[in-house]
């Protein structure tokens, strides 16, 4: 185990095949690529959030991470829908510019898990996307996935009432998995985790790592967070990296925390806990993933797609 003033660190023993020379890689002393899975406590103060993320990313780079994963709403968590909209920016705004500079300076890839991006008709409609933006180590945006499932939930007995669709535009498509220093990554955001079809589509298209940057509520997190993440890892035989928000963001909202890394067998490699910001450093072993897929070839055993939509009334 690794430990730091910023949180607990976990690693998994593994070995790694040859990697594409076109990518810039940082490795652990064992030769495996390292991913940093971060946990934050964002507030409406964008500058304070930027400083907190900068501290985490600098620590990740210093400890050898080649890619760092930040949670949903890493930029801010507003006190109201009105404040959430007012604080939003375009991809060309100051927030993305600051993260682009950090990626270049630190020489690492960034998964920016849920940016409040102003929509295409912002001036007339005042609606946003929740955008998962990935930057390479040169600060260039290489992929953007816009959250496609809206968190519209009423749990009156639990005191939860959230209607994300009131001000958020759902994304219209998934994004093809793409090569990064730690493996081929498939993108989701938070509530997308609950829809296994999304993860399966990404796995079928080559994903080796699924990532679900999140801001789960304390109630839903305690009930479902770990079991959903482990299920997605097991059924897709992928690594699952899940950066998270934690703690009290303002008077009206708090998050469950417990940023997790799960291996393709469903084993939890590390947990950031539910109290404070921090990170996990995870060594990714793609040979282990391939071995699991070879020994239990789920995809070969899967029936044709039409089989799962063809129901019989025969007893």
**157-174 confidence digits (pLDDT tens):** 766 777 899 999 999 999
Give me the domain span that covers residue 237: 9-15+25-292
- The H or E element spanning position 240 is strand 239-242
Q: Please state at what angle helix 46-62 crosses helix 94-106, rounded to 10 degrees.
A: 10
Among candidate residues 11, 59, 72, 288, the one labeled active-site is 72
Read off the pLDDT of each residue in 287-296 and give the average, rounded to a whole number. Answer: 97
Please name which of 239, 236, 238 lies closest in space to residue 299, comparing C-alpha atoms. Answer: 236
Residue 305 annotated in active site:
no
Confidence band of 27 (pLDDT split at 50, 70, 90):
low
| CA distance linking residue 143 with residue 248, whole number of Å | 30
Q: Does 297 reside within a domain? A: no
In a domain, 182, yes or no: yes
Helix residue ranges per DSSP H, 79-225:
81-87, 94-106, 122-125, 196-204, 218-220
Interhelix angle for 226-236 vs 196-204, to 10°?
30
1 domain residue, yes or no: no
49-79 pLDDT per residue, tens = 999 999 999 999 999 999 999 999 999 999 9
Active site residue 11: no
The CATH number covering residue 229 comes to 3.60.110.10
Q: Is 299 inside a domain boundary?
A: no
Confidence label for 24 from pLDDT (cuts 50, 70 and 90): very low
Q: How far apart are CA 128 and CA 108, in angstroms?
A: 28
**Is 304 inside a domain boundary?**
no
At residue 31, the pLDDT reads 73
User: Is the pLDDT assigned to residue 46 strictly greater than 70?
Assistant: yes
- 190 catalytic per annotation: yes
CA neighbor of 114 nearest in space, from 56, 75, 78, 171? 75
Asked whether residue 301 is assigned to any structural domain, the reply reads no
Is the residue at 127 inside a domain?
A: yes
| 191 DSSP assignment | G
Distance (Å, rounded) from C-alpha 139 to C-alpha 134?
A: 9
The pLDDT of residue 1 is 33
Report the C-alpha gap between 236 and 12 in whole angstroms.
19
Catalytic residue, candidates 38, 147, 218, 272: 147
Count of domains for the chain: 1
User: Does residue 259 form part of some domain?
Assistant: yes
Residue tagged active-site, from 190, 208, 272, 288: 190
Number of Cβ within 10 Å of residue 125's Cβ equals: 12
Query: pLDDT, tens digit, for every residue of 133-160?
Result: 999 999 999 999 999 999 988 777 766 7
Q: Report the candidate in 31, 46, 62 with the shortest Cα–Cα distance to residue 97.
A: 46
Give dist(CA 42, CA 47) in Å, integer.
10
């Amino acid at each position: 185990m690794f430990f730091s003033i910023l949180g607990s660190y976990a690693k998994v023993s593994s070995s790694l095949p040859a990697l594409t020379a076109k990518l810039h890689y940082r490795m652990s002393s064992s030769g495996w690529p390292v991913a940093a899975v971060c946990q934050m406590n964002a507030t409406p103060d964008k500058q304070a959030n930027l400083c907190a993320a900068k501290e985490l990313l600098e620590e990740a780079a210093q400890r050898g991470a080649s890619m760092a994963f930040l949670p949903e709403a890493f930029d801010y968590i507003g006190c109201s829908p009105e404040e959430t909209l007012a604080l939003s920016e375009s991809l060309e705004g100051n927030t993305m510019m600051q993260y682009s500079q950090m990626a270049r300076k630190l020489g690492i890839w960034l998964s920016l898990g849920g940016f409040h991006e102003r929509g295409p008709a912002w001036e007339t409609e005042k609606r946003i996307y929740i955008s998962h933006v990935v930057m390479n180590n040169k600060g260039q945006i290489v992929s953007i996935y816009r959250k496609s499932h809206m968190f519209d939930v009423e749990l009156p007995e639990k005191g939860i009432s959230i209607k994300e669709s009131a001000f958020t535009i759902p994304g219209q498509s998934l994004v093809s998995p793409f090569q990064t220093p730690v493996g081929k990554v498939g993108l989701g955001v938070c509530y997308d985790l609950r829809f296994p079809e999304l993860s399966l589509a990404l796995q079928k298209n080559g994903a080796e790592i699924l990532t679900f940057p999140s801001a789960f509520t304390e109630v839903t997190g305690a009930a479902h967070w770990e079991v959903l993440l482990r299920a997605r890892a097991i059924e897709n035989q992928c690594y699952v990296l899940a950066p998270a928000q934690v703690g009290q963001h303002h008077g009206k909202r708090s998050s469950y925390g417990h940023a997790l890394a799960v291996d393709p067998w469903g084993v939890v490699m590390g947990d950031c806990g539910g109290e404070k910001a921090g990170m996990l450093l995870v060594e990714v072993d793609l040979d282990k993933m391939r071995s699991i897929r070879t020994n239990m070839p789920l995809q070969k055993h899967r029936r044709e797609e039409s089989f799962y939509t063809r129901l019989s009334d025969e007893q």
